[in-house]
């Protein structure tokens, strides 16, 4: 589209068939002229527009992306645009955290009667994008700002008092056949104990990092029979969300909750839940200072205080180290899809290479898929062999969920899951 | 008589190499508790002490995580291939560990076996490896269990031994090493010594014997229950070399890419038919140990492991080759 | 390998004037997958369509792109043409180079370049099209009508007259609804029962209507075309097949002083009763909470008296199953309960009006019974307290309606009209009486409606005060009504003998449970949700379930009847054949890779996705999965966006297609 001398922005527009597409048709019938830079991709409903389409448009070099559909309340499919709106609210926050230039992604409600509005929106958006210039800053490197690294202490291993009681409880559970397997912590990492005499392998100390609920999805472990799983209060929140998604049945498992004194991870400084709430048996006594409100704004606030271009440079530097080992995915209890989106290859949804583009695409997908589901156990960051501050992405969506919808993953078993629900009053501020 | 060099001269040399257009890679501190081998932007980034070893390996520079094999353009109904034959810059890897360098001769076999991998060979030819002998080892190191030691020169073009007081003995093993250090060192009476390596953690032959005779042993199933099936061990291992080839289309830049793959991924052996001969983690863990201790040695006469311990250090759930092999041996 | 044919239209001058169609055809021929590319003056005309058909055959095309106007204009046209040539119609796409290109740009070079790119998008889509087959859903050609008021009756008769069986379920002992209890209806002052009862009889005698009276819908299973309805027939304690309706039983019943539901408490009825003389079915029912025999095994007089031996004290509720293909919900309304404590604090009641406290403060339906010829007072307007004929009656509008603070925010639509009617009925019965109406606005928008209200004021002398009533007290045998006349700008106090409150219209009790059973939506007031307020007012989001009457929103009888016929016509479309065909551009889930998180199940606006199990051919369980019901899915694709494993995809707009389209812009 561009001549050698003049920059012509490339604008991709995803529009719904029943309102905006007809609105664009109306602009045509009324001969309302606008710049020829927009390329329209017609979809039945804004509900069909998933975040990956926006990323793909940017990946193929779009300088601007326009997303438009029916006004709330008028959706041809009644609720598609409500669901879309909720996703857009969250996705924008994630993109903002990454330093993506939000001025390049425009959302609008344009009805079939609003031919003039189509003309206006396209004209203004094209001109604005022309002034901004080609979107070269996407995934660009640059001077990396100073964002404080997560504070991890690697203390000397110190057993907690409840360790002995834990071993006795588990020994009894196995000996009496109440459970067939205990998923717990061992000397070097998680252990799976099936014999009562092996209960002595279980430990409970300040290095019990793992979120053991991640093992509940494993077929080989399920095949062993009813399981007891040991959870810290932070891990227990995962059970709340897993239950909402039909992945965990409380009746089918024995939950051993451990009151926790902290395992030296960044999350521990901001812990609000020292004692498990729903366990079948709770052991130990929580010690330590009064909890602060979570999650801590420190690292996140420092990041968001930077201008977007610096944020982008930060993330490019961080994500360039990603090797796509998927440790972040494998340790996460909420990542239980047997065929992950990255494994889908007809068509390829996420660029599989550990290139800059591929790494951004993966981490965006991971963080966004966890919106409203991540309980902040921090295992993803700890597991990353490249030291990427992954938890920052999850924190950004956690804050977005709280701020916009009053939703906190893992807090309320009765709360409707964040994605897949909507209210009539979800924020509209950024939608034209 | 030995040749020695001071740290400041070494750093000045590094700066020279960088200024001269060479790609210089070495350990750098990335986060307060993370050291990685990286392409250095300046000699200040080079980290020579205060850590056991980087969390990644030097294979990153010879067998990168993502390599463009070739690009393509579609014209109408025909396809134009665009070769990737950009010349490889000269590269120096400075302060590699012996357990990293020793992996290169091991990898040379598989990359030149039935097919000469031009990408690997190009990079290998253009790279000079300057190893820094270890002066400490931690509980995850086990080079001595696989026939190496903290001062091994295998795979190095030159090896440095810390003498204390910021001085290093330089021993050049190849032309490439000499080309870097000739005329830059001073004569000395002091020589570096290889420190005693870690206690043998396991007997590699006994492990090989076990894995070749206990294919169906319940050990594998029990042991693999906690493995989460990520790629951390394979990707941080200096010797692991499995890769995948993907055509990812215009959004990914219209290129055929060669990328790292891990035998622990659930889809590693998935067939187009839908069948997967290694459907559970136990079969995949078993394969890993078998490959490293039995199959590769049988084929190429080398254990596919240098005992660097990265797998054990990086594993999110505390496993790694060290853990399995120890368990096999000591039960 | 694709063989796409691209046909670029000039649309006369509409496209060709701005877009260089020759250049377009030339450049498009070079696009990957394009087998042939040409342009023609009018593709939609017969010769144009012929060209398409011929090329499909001669070039063995497996896909067609017509670059012309909007798909909303002619996609169906070209799909039909392709089908006629033997090409699956879903392999046809359109590139909009008129409304979205030639009509909105003037620069020839830019418009031509854009047209080529638009066509490239369409070609990529077409290359990834799949040959879809229309979905066939078998249909049980019977309908269920829930509710036997005027709307339900109209719908049932329309459907039954069209030749289909109708099952009607009514929870009261008789059909007729609220209309059976009205005296005269506006704007004609027709006797309500006189116009309704012939219809009721028709329903009762119709060979194709199966009436379950005194029954309720217990359970609804299945989906459009294939509903299985479980109906609870409540125990009447009277065998209707033996009963002749002679009336001996209710005459002899000693327990005569039970407030009559039909008369809204203005009259009494026995424990065994028929709600009103013209009831259909004209068979009595025993109220088991009042009958001495059923409670403590006493009495039993009715059984002794019944010559037909129809009384059966051992009767029990019965569950019956009916299979139907479509459902019409016509459950009607009830009035806002003014006196009772309200479940929600915002519905605070209007205690200041003294309803429930003063016997002569009544609501509009109670007034209807008092003036009804067949009512408890024989049509003589006797006030409830002492039977005296009131000489002055105050009517208060909008009690509970249009009140954001402690009522319902909406307008109940019919009260202005029936209040005017009440003043006229009052005047016709009590010539020296004076009617006073306190109103906020007069809403009289129907045919003859405004004239009707003017008649009440000008001919029948009703006094209208624009203002609200603050309080009603009883002083010296009179009901003192204190209100305002805002047009005159002064307070108004009236000493009335009776007060009638026009209470707000609300949906009938139990609507929310019923809606849940049917899987249809309610708004916050309980009114059932239509699919689209303008274009689909009688359909719901659950295909196969329709709504009619006051359960949808407050409305009067003509509107309820019109809506009922509308719903009936929709039902007739549905039941027109043994099979329904639906567009196949719907969602599909790869059940092997589905993670069974069920995000799609809770997201789907049409409840078209269910939790299901993937089993082997022999029935062994493999895994849980989500499963799309092809009979219900409307093809919005919202499920595709929430699926984390990308197992859900939308036929006709698959990920493969959309990604190919975006990537063509690289």
Q: What is the pLDDT of residue C348?
A: 65
- For the segment A343-358, the average pLDDT, to the nearest whole number, is 92
Q: Tell me what pLDDT residue A2 has.
A: 53
pLDDT in tens, C579-638: 988 889 999 999 999 999 999 999 999 889 999 999 999 999 999 999 999 988 999 999
Give residue A427's pLDDT band: very low, low, confident or very high (50, 70, 90): confident
Query: What pLDDT, in 10s, does the model give residues C129-149?
Result: 999 999 998 999 999 999 999
Give the residue on B whose Cα is nearest the Cα of C29: B76
Contact C107 A36 (CB under 8 A): yes
Portion 250-289 of A in contact with C at CB < 8 A: none
In tens, the pLDDT along C280-301 reads: 999 999 999 999 999 999 898 9
- Chain A nearest-CA distance from C153, in A, is 30
Q: Please return the burial class of B19, using the count of CB atoms within 10 Å of its CB with bins 0-12, 13-18 and 19+.
A: exposed
For residues C79 and C89, the answer to whether their CB atoms sit within 8 Å is yes
Write the Ramachandran bin of C483: left for phi over 0, alpha for psi from -120 to 50, otherwise beta: beta
- Whether C593 sits inside 8 A of A339 (CB atoms) is yes
pLDDT of residue B274: 86
Distance CA A86, CA A108 (A): 14
A189: nearest CB among B262, B280, B318 = B318
What percent of chain C has a predicted confidence (pLDDT) above 70? 98
pLDDT digits (tens, 9 = 90+) for C78-111: 999 999 999 999 999 999 999 999 999 999 999 9
Given a cut of 80, whether residue A421 has pLDDT beyond it is yes
What confidence score (pLDDT) does residue C344 get? 65
Q: How far is C123 from chain A (nearest CA, A)?
A: 13
| Buried-exposed string A323-348: b where 16+ CB fall within 10 A, e elsewhere | bbbbbbbbbbbbbbbbbbbbbbeebb
Is it the case that residue A292 has pLDDT exceeding 50? no
CA–CA gap between residue A75 and residue A19 (Å, rounded): 8
Q: What is the pLDDT of residue C633?
A: 92
* Closest Cα in chain A to C665: A60
For the segment B277-315, what is each residue's pLDDT rounded down to a tens digit? 999 999 999 999 999 999 999 999 999 999 999 999 999
- C321, C436, C465, C481, C573 from C491: Cα distances, Å: 60, 14, 10, 11, 57
The confidence score (pLDDT) of residue A345 equals 86
Instruction: Give the tens place of pLDDT for each residue, C554-574.
Output: 999 999 999 999 999 999 999
Look up the ipTM and state it.
0.94
* Per-residue model confidence as pLDDT tens digits over B99-111: 999 999 999 999 9
What is the predicted pLDDT for the residue at A293?
A: 45
The residue among C494, C509, C420 whose CA lies nearest residue C460 is C420
Check residue A269 and give its pLDDT: 79
For A337, the closest of C70, C114, C644 (CB atoms) is C644
Inter-residue contact A271 to A234 (CB < 8 Å): yes
Among A residues 186-215, those touching chain B with beta carbons less than 8 Å apart: 186, 188-192, 194, 210, 214-215
**pLDDT score recorded for residue A358:** 94
Q: Which helix (H) or strand (E) holds C21?
A: helix C21-28
| Spatial separation of the C-alpha atoms in residues B114 and C654, rounded to whole Å | 42
pLDDT tens, position by position, C371-410: 999 899 999 999 999 999 999 999 999 999 998 877 789 9
Contact C663 B74 (CB under 8 A): no
Say if residue B181's pLDDT is above 50.
yes
Rounded CA-CA distance C381/C388 in Å is 8
For C605, which of A27, A28, A79 is closest by C-beta distance?
A: A79
Mean pLDDT over the full length of chain C = 94
pLDDT, tens digit, for every residue of C20-62?
A: 999 999 999 999 999 999 999 999 999 999 999 999 999 999 9
Q: What are the tens digits of pLDDT across the range B188-199?
A: 999 989 999 999
Q: Does the structure show a pLDDT above 80 at A429?
A: yes
Tell how strand C434-439 and strand C165-169 pair up.
Answer: unpaired
Q: Looking at chain A, which residue has its C-alpha nearest residue C534?
A: A74
Contact C176, C198 (CB under 8 A): no
Task: Please tell me the distance from the alpha carbon of residue B23 to that of residue A192, in angstroms, as a whole number.
Answer: 46
- Mean pLDDT for chain A overall: 92
Q: Which residue of C has its CA nearest to B253?
A: C666
Q: Does A48 sit within 8 Å of C653, measured CB to CB? A: yes
- Predicted confidence (pLDDT) at residue A3 exceeds the cutoff of 70: no
Backbone dihedral angles phi then psi of residue C57, each to the nearest 5 degrees:
-75, -50
pTM given for the model: 0.83
Structure-token pair, residue B204: 């590699």
pLDDT tier at C532, thresholds 50, 70, 90:
confident
C340 pLDDT exceeds 70? no
**Rounded to whole angstroms, how far apart are CA atoms A231 and A237?**
9
- Tell me which chain C residues have a C-beta less than 8 angstroms from the C-beta of A34: 104-105
Q: Considering only CA atoms, which of A209, A192, A204 is closest in space to residue A168?
A: A204
* Mean pLDDT confidence for C655-659: 96
């Amino acid at each position: 589209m561009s001549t050698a001398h003049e920059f012509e922005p490339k604008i991709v527009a995803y529009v719904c068939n029943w309102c905006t597409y007809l609105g664009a048709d109306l602009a045509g019938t009324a001969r309302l002229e606008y710049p020829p830079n927009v390329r329209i991709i017609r979809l039945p409903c804004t509900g069909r527009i998933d975040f990956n389409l926006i990323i793909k448009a940017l990946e193929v070099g779009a300088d601007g992306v326009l997303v438009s559909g029916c006004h709330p309340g008028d959706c041809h499919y009644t609720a598609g645009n409500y669901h879309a709106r909720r996703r857009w609210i969250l996705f924008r926050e994630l993109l903002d955290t990454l330093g993506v230039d939000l001025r390049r992604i425009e959302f609008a409600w344009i009805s079939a009667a609003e031919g003039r509005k189509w003309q206006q929106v396209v004209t203004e958006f094209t001109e604005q994008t022309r002034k901004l210039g080609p979107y070269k800053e996407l995934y660009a490197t640059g001077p990396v700002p100073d964002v404080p690294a997560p504070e991890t202490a690697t203390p000397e291993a110190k057993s907690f008092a409840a360790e002995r009681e834990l071993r006795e409880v588990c020994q009894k559970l196995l000996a009496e056949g109440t459970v067939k397997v205990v998923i717990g912590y061992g000397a070097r990492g998680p252990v799976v104990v099936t014999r009562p005499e092996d209960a002595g392998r279980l430990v409970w100390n300040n290095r019990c990092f793992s979120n053991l609920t991640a093992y509940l999805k494993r077929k080989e472990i399920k095949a062993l029979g009813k399981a007891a799983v040991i959870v810290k209060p932070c891990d227990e929140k995962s059970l709340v969300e897993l239950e909402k998604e039909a992945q965990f049945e409380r009746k089918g498992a024995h939950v051993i909750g451990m009151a926790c004194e902290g395992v030296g991870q960044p999350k521990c400084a901001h812990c609000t839940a020292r004692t498990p709430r729903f366990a079948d048996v709770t052991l130990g006594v929580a010690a330590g200072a009064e909890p602060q409100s979570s999650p801590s704004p420190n690292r996140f606030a420092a990041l968001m205080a930077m201008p977007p271009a610096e944020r982008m440079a930060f993330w490019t530097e961080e994500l360039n180290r990603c090797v796509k080992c998927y440790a972040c995915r494998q340790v996460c209890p909420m990542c239980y899809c047997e065929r992950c989106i990255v494994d889908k290859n007809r068509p390829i949804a996420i660029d599989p290479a550990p290139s800059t583009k591929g790494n951004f695409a993966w981490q965006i997908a991971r963080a966004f898929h966890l919106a409203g589901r991540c309980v902040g156990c921090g295992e993803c960051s700890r597991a990353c062999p490249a030291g990427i501050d992954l938890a920052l992405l999850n924190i950004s969506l956690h804050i977005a969920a709280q701020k916009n919808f009053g939703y906190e993953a893992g807090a309320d078993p009765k709360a409707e899951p964040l994605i897949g629900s909507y209210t009539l009053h979800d924020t509209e501020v950024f939608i034209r | 008589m030995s040749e020695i060099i001071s740290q400041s001269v070494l750093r000045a040399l590094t700066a020279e190499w960088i200024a001269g257009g060479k790609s210089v890679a070495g350990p750098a501190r990335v986060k307060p508790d993370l050291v990685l081998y990286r392409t250095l932007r300046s000699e200040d980034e080079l980290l020579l002490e205060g850590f056991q070893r980087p969390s990644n390996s030097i294979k990153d520079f010879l067998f990168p995580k993502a390599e463009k094999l070739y690009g393509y353009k579609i014209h109408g109904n025909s396809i134009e291939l665009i070769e990737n034959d950009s010349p490889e810059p000269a590269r120096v890897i400075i302060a590699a560990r012996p357990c990293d360098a020793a992996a290169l001769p091991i990898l040379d076999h598989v990359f030149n076996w039935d097919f000469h991998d031009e990408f690997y060979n190009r990079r290998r030819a253009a790279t000079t490896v300057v190893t820094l002998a270890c002066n400490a080892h931690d509980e995850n190191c086990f080079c001595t269990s696989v026939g190496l030691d903290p001062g091994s020169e295998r795979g190095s073009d030159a090896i440095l031994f810390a003498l204390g007081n910021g001085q290093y003995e330089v021993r050049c093993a190849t032309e490439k090493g000499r080309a870097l250090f000739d005329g830059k060192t001073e004569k000395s009476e002091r020589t570096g010594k290889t420190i005693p390596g870690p206690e043998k953690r396991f007997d590699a032959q006994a492990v090989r014997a076990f894995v070749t005779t206990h294919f169906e042993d319940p050990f594998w199933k029990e042991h693999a229950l906690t493995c989460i099936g990520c790629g951390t061990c394979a990707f941080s291992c200096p010797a692991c070399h499995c890769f995948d080839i993907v055509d990812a289309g215009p959004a990914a830049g219209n290129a055929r890419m060669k990328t790292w793959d891990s035998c622990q991924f659930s889809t590693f052996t998935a067939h187009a038919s839908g069948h997967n001969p290694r459907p559970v983690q136990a079969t995949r863990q078993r394969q890993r140990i078998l490959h490293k201790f039995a199959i590769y040695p049988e084929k190429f006469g080398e254990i596919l492991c240098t005992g660097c311990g990265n797998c054990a250090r990086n594993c999110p759930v505390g496993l790694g080759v060290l853990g399995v092999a120890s368990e096999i041996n000591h039960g | 390998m694709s063989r796409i044919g691209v046909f670029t239209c000039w649309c006369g001058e509409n496209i060709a004037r701005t877009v260089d169609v020759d250049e377009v055809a030339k450049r498009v021929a070079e696009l990957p997958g394009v087998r042939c590319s040409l342009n023609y003056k009018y593709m939609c005309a017969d010769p144009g369509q012929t060209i398409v058909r011929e090329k499909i055959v001669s070039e063995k095309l497996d896909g067609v792109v017509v670059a012309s106007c909007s798909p909303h204009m002619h996609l169906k046209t070209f799909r039909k043409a392709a089908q006629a040539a033997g090409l699956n119609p879903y392999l046809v796409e359109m590139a909009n180079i008129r409304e979205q290109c030639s009509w909105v740009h003037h620069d020839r070079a830019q418009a031509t370049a854009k047209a080529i790119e638009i066509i490239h998008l369409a070609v990529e889509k077409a290359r990834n099209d799949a040959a879809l087959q229309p979905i066939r859903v078998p249909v049980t050609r019977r309908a269920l009508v829930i509710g036997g008021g005027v709307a339900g009756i109209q719908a049932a008769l329309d459907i039954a007259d069209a030749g289909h069986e109708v099952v009607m379920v009514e929870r009261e002992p008789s059909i007729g609804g609220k209309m059976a209890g009205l005296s005269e209806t506006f704007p004609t002052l027709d006797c309500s029962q006189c116009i309704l009862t012939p219809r009721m009889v028709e329903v009762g005698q119709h060979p194709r209507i199966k009436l379950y009276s005194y029954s309720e819908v217990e359970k609804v299973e299945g989906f459009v075309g294939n509903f299985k309805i479980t109906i609870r027939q409540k125990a009447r304690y009277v065998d209707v097949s033996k009963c002749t309706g002679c009336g001996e039983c209710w005459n002899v019943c000693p327990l005569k002083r039970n407030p009559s539901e039909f008369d809204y408490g203005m009259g009494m009825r026995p424990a065994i009763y028929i709600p009103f003389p013209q009831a259909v079915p004209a068979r009595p029912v025993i109220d088991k909470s009042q009958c001495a025999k059923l409670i403590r095994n006493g009495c039993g007089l009715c059984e002794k008296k019944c010559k037909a031996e129809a009384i059966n004290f051992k009767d029990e509720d019965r569950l019956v199953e009916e299979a139907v293909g479509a459902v019409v919900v016509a459950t009607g309304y009830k009035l806002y309960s003014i006196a009772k404590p309200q479940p929600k604090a915002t519905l605070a009641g209007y205690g200041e009006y003294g309803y429930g406290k003063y016997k002569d403060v009544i609501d509009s339906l109670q007034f209807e019974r008092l003036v009804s010829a067949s009512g408890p007072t024989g049509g003589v307007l006797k006030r409830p307290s002492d039977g005296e004929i009131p000489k002055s009656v105050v009517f208060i509008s909008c009690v509970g309606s249009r009140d954001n603070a402690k009522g319902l925010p909406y307008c109940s639509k019919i009260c202005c009209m029936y209040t005017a009617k009440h003043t006229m009925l009052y005047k016709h019965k009590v010539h020296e009486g004076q009617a006073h109406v306190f109103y906020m606005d007069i809403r009289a928008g129907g045919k003859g409606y405004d004239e009707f209200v003017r008649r009440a004021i000008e001919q029948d002398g009703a006094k209208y005060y624009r203002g609200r009533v603050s309080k009603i007290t009883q002083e010296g045998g009179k009901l003192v009504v204190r209100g305002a006349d805002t047009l005159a700008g002064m307070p108004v106090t009236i000493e009335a003998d009776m007060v009638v409150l026009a209470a707000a219209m609300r949906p009938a009790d139990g609507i929310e449970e019923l809606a849940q059973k049917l899987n249809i939506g309610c708004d916050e007031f309980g009114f059932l949700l239509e699919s689209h307020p303008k274009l689909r007012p009688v359909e719901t989001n659950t295909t196969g379930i329709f709504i009619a009457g006051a359960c949808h929103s407050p409305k009067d009888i003509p509107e309820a009847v019109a809506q009922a016929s509308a719903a009936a016509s929709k039902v007739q479309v549905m039941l027109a054949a043994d099979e329904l065909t639906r567009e196949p551009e719907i969602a599909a889930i790869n059940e092997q890779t589905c993670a069974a998180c069920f995000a799609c199940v809770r997201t789907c606006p049409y409840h078209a996705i269910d939790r299901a199990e993937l089993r082997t051919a022999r029935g062994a369980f493999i895994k849980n999965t989500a499963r799309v019901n092809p009979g219900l899915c409307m093809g919005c694709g919202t499920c595709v966006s929430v699926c984390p494993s990308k197992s859900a995809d939308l036929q006709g707009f698959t990920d493969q297609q959309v990604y190919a389209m975006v990537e063509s812009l690289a």
